[in-house]
C-alpha cells in the first residue's frame, strides 16, 4: 500500500519514465520493499536485501566534514547496542551540502573506520535531493513520514519498520541517543 501511495505522490510523469529513480522507488512491492532501490555498498558491491528483510533500518545521510560528523560515534554505539535486536544502521554518504563529503569511497571508508570504528553498512555516495535524487531517497522522502520535504542537511534520519514501512523522520540535530529516536526505533523493532 505504501508503494501505491508513493506512485500516486510522484505522479504519472515519473511513473511513465522507465529507468528513473522515482520509477524504481515506486515499483518496489510490499512483499519485498527493498526491490528496485538498487542499494550499492561503498565498495561497489550490492547490499543484499537479506540484510534488511525483517529488520528495522535507520537510514542516515552522512558526511565526513560536517559539524554533525561526530554523530558517527553515537550511530556506531547504537548499532552495537541494537543490532542483535534486529536494527540495521545504513549510512548514505552525500556531498550535496556544502561539499562536506568530497572523498573517494576508499577515503570515506577509511575515515569512518579509523576515526569512529564504523562497521555498519555504508552505501555508495548518492544525491538525496534534486533531479538526481536516488531511488532510496525518492522512497524515503516520498513516504508519509518523509512528507515530500527535501533533506535539509547531513545526518537526517529515517526509521523503517520490520515491515518495510517508513515510520519516522528526524532532523540533523537529533542525536543517535535521542529519546524520541530511541522510541521510534523500539516501535519499528516491534517492542
pLDDT, one tens digit per residue, over 93-143 is 999 999 999 999 999 999 999 999 999 999 999 999 999 999 999 999 999
Query: Looking at residue 44, which CATH number applies to its domain?
Result: 3.40.30.10
- Identify the domain containing residue 69 by its residue range: 2-189
Q: What is the pTM of this model?
A: 0.85
Query: Three-class SS string for the chain?
Result: CHHHHHHHHHCHHHHCCCCCHHHHHHHCECCECCCCCCCEECCCCECCHHHCCCCEEEEEEECCCCCCCCHHHHHHHHHHHHHHHCEEEEEEECCCCCCCCCCCHHHHHHHHHHHHCCCCCEECCCECCCCCECHHHHHHHHCCCCCCCCCCCCCCEEEECCCCCEEEEECCCCCCCCHHHHHHHHHHHCC
- How many domains does the chain contain in total? 1
pLDDT grade, residue 32 (50/70/90)?
Answer: low
- pLDDT tens string 136-152: 999 999 999 999 999 99
57-88 confidence digits (pLDDT tens): 999 999 999 999 999 999 999 999 999 999 99
Question: What residues act catalytically?
Answer: 66
Amino acid at each position: 500500500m505504501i508503494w501505491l501511495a508513493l506512485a500516486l505522490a510522484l505522479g504519472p510523469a515519473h511513473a511513465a519514465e522507465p529507468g528513473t529513480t522515482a520509477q524504481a522507488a515506486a515499483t518496489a512491492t510490499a512483499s519485498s520493499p527493498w526491490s528496485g532501490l538498487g542499494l550499492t555498498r561503498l565498495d561497489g558491491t550490492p547490499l543484499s536485501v537479506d540484510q534488511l528483510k525483517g529488520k528495522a533500518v535507520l537510514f542516515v545521510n552522512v558526511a565526513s566534514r560536517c559539524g554533525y560528523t561526530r554523530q558517527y560515534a553515537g550511530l556506531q554505539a547504537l548499532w552495537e547496542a541494537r543490532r542483535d535486536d534486529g536494527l540495521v544502521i545504513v549510512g548514505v554518504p552525500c556531498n550535496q551540502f556544502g561539499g562536506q563529503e568530497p572523498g573517494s569511497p576508499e577515503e570515506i571508508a577509511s575515515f569512518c573506520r579509523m576515526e569512529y570504528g564504523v562497521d555498519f553498512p555504508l552505501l555508495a555516495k548518492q544525491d538525496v535531493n534534486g533531479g538526481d535524487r536516488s531511488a532510496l531517497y525518492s522512497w524515503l522522502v516520498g513516504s508519509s513520514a518523509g512528507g515530500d520535504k527535501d533533506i535539509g542537511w547531513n545526518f537526517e534520519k529515517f526509521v523503517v519498520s520490520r515491515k518495510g514501512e517508513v515510520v519516522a523522520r528526524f532532523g540533523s540535530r537529533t542525536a543517535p541517543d535521542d529519546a524520541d529516536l530511541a522510541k521510534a526505533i523500539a516501535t519499528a523493532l516491534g517492542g
